[in-house]
Structure 1
Amino acid sequence: MSVALFWLVALALYTAALLLGRRLGLFPIVSQLLLASLGIPALLLGWIEPHAGLSAAELLAPTWLNALYGLCFALLLGYILGDVVDLEFNPQSLKIALPSFLVPLFCGLACAGWLLPSAGWLSALGIGLLFSITAIPVLYLYLQNIGYPPAATRRLLHAAILMDLACWGLFALAQGSAQPERLLWPLLAAALPLVLRGLRLRHDLAFSLPFFALMLLFQQLHLNALLFGIGYLLCLAALRQPFRLPLAPRHWFWLLNGLAIPLILTFGVLQVNFREAWQGSSWLHLGVLLVLPVASKVAGNWLGLHWADRQAPAATKWRESLLLNIRGLTEIVFLNLLLQQRLIDERVYFGLLLMSLFSTLLPTLLGIRHPQQEHQARRPYGAA
């Protein structure tokens, strides 16, 4: 088997998993996480290495693959950041976001000090932010799927956007402070919308196409693409200029789910040496990476929801605490970013990958539904 054939087979498997998951009522990211966490390692260890004679390092070696990975990463990061800046501020969402962000952040910092005692402060901050992040696209789809009330949906989404904006912004600034001389070009490029508006350009694509092109350029030049992306989109928000994706939603869906997300997930998983990743570590470490991010995030969510509305029923706070714990796509991109920059090791990467899958599945496993559906489900059989 050639390297190119392996990647074609992998993409076909993700498409099959996506279609099968749709028939089973699973979100695309859940199907993709299941295949990446369980199927790709099994394929590598059970067939590719012993029978095809290809190692993970050989599968990751081609230059064209790294260029394609950079393109996909820039597209996906740009897509997520486009959601993050779509913010309508309100005090209730801020009250939810503050404890929901800070409680898991400090738990993550403490966990990093234990698991990676020799790691630098940027690694510890990255792990803390991974504990705090919420997957906006998956949360939105889940709330839409269960028919959640529109007002409650907006409140939860705006709180999630505030948290994710804080995560991406803090990490971008932390990266920049480590290499301040590399901040000039990303910050200058972030002001490009001001130039485009000065040229009296009005078409939405005149603002979105340069964004993706520059994201890819900074990614390839190893400059701070994250800081550029946040600055550019905040500039668009200040100008009240809509951010429009360059493809129709249907085509964008298949570009992300048929190519970008499978490639990014597989690229990350193949960097894990599964035979050695957990040698010298205890199952306690894996258990901590699975449980502590979820427990701290749910606790922070509950405190924030209680602060925002003390009169809300306990059942509502519990339900929404679990919903705000959804991870999925946003965390995967952040996780790959940390691994790509060698800020976390393989053991932490794979443990947090499993945690992301667990967190995203948890509302479904616990039967989180529309509040009215839950009320009807508690009625005795035959009640009016």
Structure 2
Amino acid sequence: MSTTQATRLLLALAIIIVAARLLGALARRLDQPPVIGEVLAGIALGPTLLHGTVSEAVFPTDIRPFLAALANLGVALFMFIVGLELDHALVRGRGRLASSVSISSIVLPFGLGALLSLYLIGNHPSRDPLGFALFMGAAMSVTAFPVLARILTDREMSHTLVGQVALTCAAVDDVLAWTMLATVVTVAGAAADQARLLLLVLPYLAVMFLVVRPLLRRVAAAQRAAGRLTSSTLAVVLAGVLLSAAATEAVGLHFIFGAFLFGVVMPREGGAALRAELLERVGQVSSVLLLPVFFIVAGLRVDLSAVGSTGLAELALILLVAIGGKFVGAYLAARANGLPARESGALATLMNTRGLTELVILNIGLQLTLLDTRLYSLMVVMAVLTTAMAGPLLRLLYPRRHYAAAAPVATASPG
């Protein structure tokens, strides 16, 4: 890296941090998740405005590979945090209601997304029609667990029945969504032979659950004995995340799966203190620096300057399928299990929250060339709108007075 490149990169990082914090704070003032403002910061600094003049001046081409590397690191740590936050007891504890809503809110939008791909492929040709159809189905099926959890906390809904069922469903949806995406990556044949991929994934999983998980229990025990998260423990965990991510990338899956699974295998019993400190320390670095870089890199690929009437029609169809599929699937399943109409509507609204999880999936689709830039841009708009609508719709369908006085629901216990 030359002196000029280093100077430009440091200036770009400073601009990214400031822009993300300012627009994130503005979004919070408008009762929106900060991620909305941060994504809009990325789009605003991209080629959509002023024909790319701003993006070329602030993020010249020669520093973009460095930004992309930092963005990948941010996504890896984000996926580790998602896996770390996945509450196994919560997933097991909600019974038929959560299972029905989860499956219905995945199956219906997945099917509608696959059908929509038959129309979209005419304007967005793909080298792999099957992979394109599966990808569109998976992209329509996403619920962002971290953003949903933040919305529930902000609205003091975390301990209501609707809140806990929504968290459970989002956790299940996360697992199903990443499983579907892994299938898409496999079908698309990304960087690896299919037979070799299948042969290597199984030993990797065995090592993670039979070797790495017991070792992490020892790490958690050492942390408990020390009474705090030591730098050595943090180094071991971060190295483990990166090694796991590298392993899945090497066998032909995307690195996000390795990072996510490392978070999943972190010990729950006896590891609460370790998880809490990791979430705080890793989460701060990720949210303040690395994820904003990801938003900028993602925004640099969004170009809405020449959408046109055809693009607007496609966006309308994408929104109809994304919102309608999730809402109808979740609402009907909730009603079928005896949940009142108002609570069912609130649950269906929450399941439409896509957030950063959707952006991660869309960027993978772009990397696999399953999406072109025009369709990617439209899908990013869908991700932003479906996340932004959650707050206003909840205020309309499920005002605070309907649950503020209700007794909190006890968190499900393991087993």
Q: Deviations over 1:86-132 (max 9, x none)?
A: 35322221011111111100110011111024432122211111111
Identity of aligned residues (%): 22
* Secondary structure in 1 matching 2:301: coil
Q: Measure the CA separation in 1 of the matches of 2:314 and 2:288.
A: 33
* Secondary structure in 1 matching 2:323: helix
Bigger shift: residues 350-359 or 181-190? 181-190
* Secondary structure in 2 matching 1:147: coil
Q: Which residue number in structure 1 is paired with residue 18 of structure 2?
A: 12
Picking from 75, 78, 95, the partner of 2:77 is 75
Q: Measure the CA separation in 1 of the matches of 2:120 and 2:356.
A: 24
Q: Which amino acid aligns with 1:114?
A: Y
Picking from 334, 338, 361, the partner of 2:361 is 334
Q: Measure the CA separation in 2 of the matches of 1:143 and 1:200.
A: 30
Q: Measure the CA separation in 2 of the matches of 1:323 and 1:246.
A: 25
Q: Measure the CA separation in 2 of the matches of 1:253 and 1:229.
A: 14
Task: State the superposition RMSD in angstroms.
Answer: 3.4
The answer to whether the 8 A contact 2:326-2:352 is kept is: yes
Q: Which residue number in structure 2 is paired with residue 307 of structure 1?
A: 336
Matched, 1:156 2:166: yes
Matched, 1:194 2:210: yes
Matched, 1:266 2:296: yes
Cα distance change on mapping 1:21 and 1:82 into 2, 3 Å: same
Cα distance change on mapping 1:352 and 1:241 into 2, 3 Å: farther
Q: Deviations over 1:272-297 (max 9, x none)?
A: 45455x36934211222233211211
Picking from 48, 57, 69, the partner of 2:54 is 48
Q: Which residue number in structure 2 is paired with residue 182 of structure 1?
A: 197
Q: Which residue number in structure 2 is paired with residue 27 of structure 1?
A: 33
The answer to whether the 8 A contact 1:273-1:346 is kept is: yes
Q: Measure the CA separation in 2 of the matches of 1:247 and 1:152.
A: 28
Cα distance change on mapping 1:220 and 1:9 into 2, 3 Å: farther
The answer to whether the 8 A contact 2:303-2:377 is kept is: no
Matched, 1:172 2:201: no
Q: Deviations over 1:339-381 (max 9, x none)?
A: 122221112211111111111121222352795734499xxxx
Q: Which amino acid aligns with 2:364?
A: L
The answer to whether the 8 A contact 1:70-1:220 is kept is: no
Cα distance change on mapping 1:268 and 1:218 into 2, 3 Å: farther
Q: Which residue number in structure 2 is paired with residue 352 of structure 1?
A: 379
Picking from 64, 67, 75, the partner of 2:66 is 64
Q: Which residue number in structure 2 is paired with residue 318 of structure 1?
A: 345
Bigger shift: residues 89-98 or 17-26? 17-26
Q: Which residue number in structure 2 is paired with residue 111 of structure 1?
A: 116
Q: Measure the CA separation in 2 of the matches of 1:351 and 1:231.
A: 30
Cα distance change on mapping 1:250 and 1:236 into 2, 3 Å: closer
Q: Which residue number in structure 2 is paired with residue 136 of structure 1?
A: 145
Q: Which residue number in structure 2 is paired with residue 88 of structure 1?
A: 91
Q: Measure the CA separation in 2 of the matches of 1:60 and 1:85.
A: 42
Cα distance change on mapping 1:366 and 1:63 into 2, 3 Å: closer
* Count, aligned residues: 369
Cα distance change on mapping 1:338 and 1:306 into 2, 3 Å: same
Cα distance change on mapping 1:84 and 1:199 into 2, 3 Å: closer
Q: Measure the CA separation in 1 of the matches of 2:322 and 2:18.
A: 32
The answer to whether the 8 A contact 1:169-1:230 is kept is: no
Q: Deviations over 1:291-328 (max 9, x none)?
A: 3211211111111211222xx32222112211111111
Q: Which residue number in structure 2 is paired with residue 380 of structure 1?
A: none
Q: Which amino acid aligns with 1:288?
A: L
Q: Which residue number in structure 1 is paired with residue 230 of structure 2?
A: none
Q: TM-score, normalised by structure 1?
A: 0.82
Q: Measure the CA separation in 2 of the matches of 1:250 and 1:232.
A: 17
Q: Which amino acid aligns with 1:166?
A: L
Structure with larger RCO (C-alpha < 8 A, sep 6+): 2
Q: TM-score, normalised by structure 2?
A: 0.77
Q: Measure the CA separation in 2 of the matches of 1:159 and 1:176.
A: 25
Q: Measure the CA separation in 1 of the matches of 2:44 and 2:320.
A: 19
Q: CA deviation at 1:13?
A: 0.8
The answer to whether the 8 A contact 1:332-1:353 is kept is: yes
Bigger shift: residues 225-234 or 283-292? 225-234
